[in-house]
Structure 1
């Protein structure tokens, strides 16, 4: 009997992974403590801008869903200490995609170009990374490179723990925004995707993407909230902003 059961079980079809599967709930609970540490980063003083003759391109940091420049202050401070002229996005609270989001980002990017004389690199956290990739495709001459931090640009747009809340706040489905988004195709400039298997909000496969969807897929050992302040994440961002990379081939590196 047991042998017959095992034989029949071996013949069962393999379980097909759910493309909409979010990260495990156990990882989501870990994000609560990380959120408190991220919020505490807003009280850190912002260092002055580095020398304008720095070899590094200027950097604009785009916040995630339901956050704003306060949430990226610690990261911007760390990037300034690393020698980057780093700027907030300056567009207020990120409540979700709007029909004019690319134009609003363009106004800010143009301000940075007028101020520094150089196209900035865009560092986008979560939904901010979706904006960064999409803007870079619309205005490739105005972006030096793109770095996404736990951004769900690949696969199903529901492979995360935030899509229901997004529907409620943004007042449109996550997979039917008021703008023609195509986040998966890689922008033409160097593009880095930072992802984590410990991310409690965004599914790892969604934030990592396929090899041809970015130039580098960089694994970082942190939670979703840690992308903007964890030392190993900051180090990976700095490396992504400075590494020379050929954009004609995909690659994979790991930072832990």
Structure 2
């Protein structure tokens, strides 16, 4: 798919988002057509989207626990962007990451939905030695300013002013040096898909899921399949090393 200019989704997708989100939720209740890969028990932290709390990601966390992962909520309540400086807020999130890593002596996978994916990526940049991989779900890290219909809510929750300056926006577009996967949907009604797509590289890949709403990103069975597959992959320094390992095994 050729990348268009960064822009929010069409108005029709925004209007249909609530109904499609309900449909995606009920789809998550149906039995899966095939079993998901079991995990190795490594720890996972899940970060909610803007205006949401751990309640919104509870279903995803429970499914991952059933796959044998040690899954944690981010423990910060409703996600409305920090009311302190961003670096100070990252230190707060870092404390949980360090605690979980210390208790398990294993790197932690970070899953972030929408704005939560921003925190996951920034934590991985700050502490790459503690992070196994990052999975973002509908996170517009490539363009926070123009790719979303949620800008008004973002500004409202932050006292009527945008909390992101140009320097921070540039920082958010830089990829961590751990394996990162951006899962996005062209039919997302809140976030334009182009803002979720980064340049494919040694450490970054993009995965498209079709016909999934923005809210459905934490419910839809296709997203769950992608997340389960990624979490079950062996730990490698990069996607390139994973490919090399597969080629070596074949030949």
Q: Distance in 1 between matches of 2:239 and 2:158?
A: 36
1:110 matched to 2:101: no
Secondary structure of 1:144's aligned partner: strand
Structure 2 residues without counterparts, runs of 5 or longer:
28-38, 243-251
Question: Which aligned pairs between 1:144-183 and structure 2 lie closer than 5 A?
Answer: 144-171=132-159, 172-173=161-162, 175-176=164-165, 182-183=171-172
Name the CA shift for 1:110/1:157 in 2 (closer, same or farther; >3 Å): same
CA RMSD in angstroms, aligned pairs only: 2.8
Contact in 2 for aligned 1:215/1:250 (Cα 8 Å): no
Structure 1 residues without counterparts, runs of 5 or longer:
1-16, 42-53, 252-256
State the partner residue of 1:123.
Answer: 111
Q: Distance in 1 between matches of 2:191 and 2:52?
A: 16
Q: What TM-score comes out, normalization by structure 2 length?
A: 0.79
Secondary structure of 1:206's aligned partner: helix
CA distances 1:210-246 after superposition (whole Å, capped 9, x unpaired): 2249521011121111110111100101112223566
Contact in 1 for aligned 2:9/2:149 (Cα 8 Å): yes
Larger of the two Rg values belongs to structure: 1
Question: Which aligned pairs between 1:216-227 and structure 2 lie closer than 5 A?
Answer: 216-221=205-210, 222-227=212-217
Q: Distance in 1 between matches of 2:214 and 2:46?
A: 16
Q: How much has 1:73 moved relative to structure 2?
A: 0.1
Q: Distance in 2 between matches of 1:126 and 1:27?
A: 17
Say how many residue pairs are matched: 222
Q: Distance in 2 between matches of 1:219 and 1:190?
A: 17
Name the CA shift for 1:18/1:219 in 2 (closer, same or farther; >3 Å): closer
Contact in 2 for aligned 1:147/1:191 (Cα 8 Å): yes
CA distances 1:82-119 after superposition (whole Å, capped 9, x unpaired): 22111111111111144122011111112212332222
State the partner residue of 1:242.
Answer: 232
Contact in 2 for aligned 1:192/1:217 (Cα 8 Å): yes
Say which of 46, 57, 75 aligns to 2:60.
75
1:211 matched to 2:200: yes
State the partner residue of 1:85.
Answer: 70
State the partner residue of 1:6.
Answer: none
CA distances 1:146-201 after superposition (whole Å, capped 9, x unpaired): 00000010035221101122111123415428968712221111111000101111
Name the CA shift for 1:113/1:152 in 2 (closer, same or farther; >3 Å): same
Name the CA shift for 1:56/1:190 in 2 (closer, same or farther; >3 Å): farther
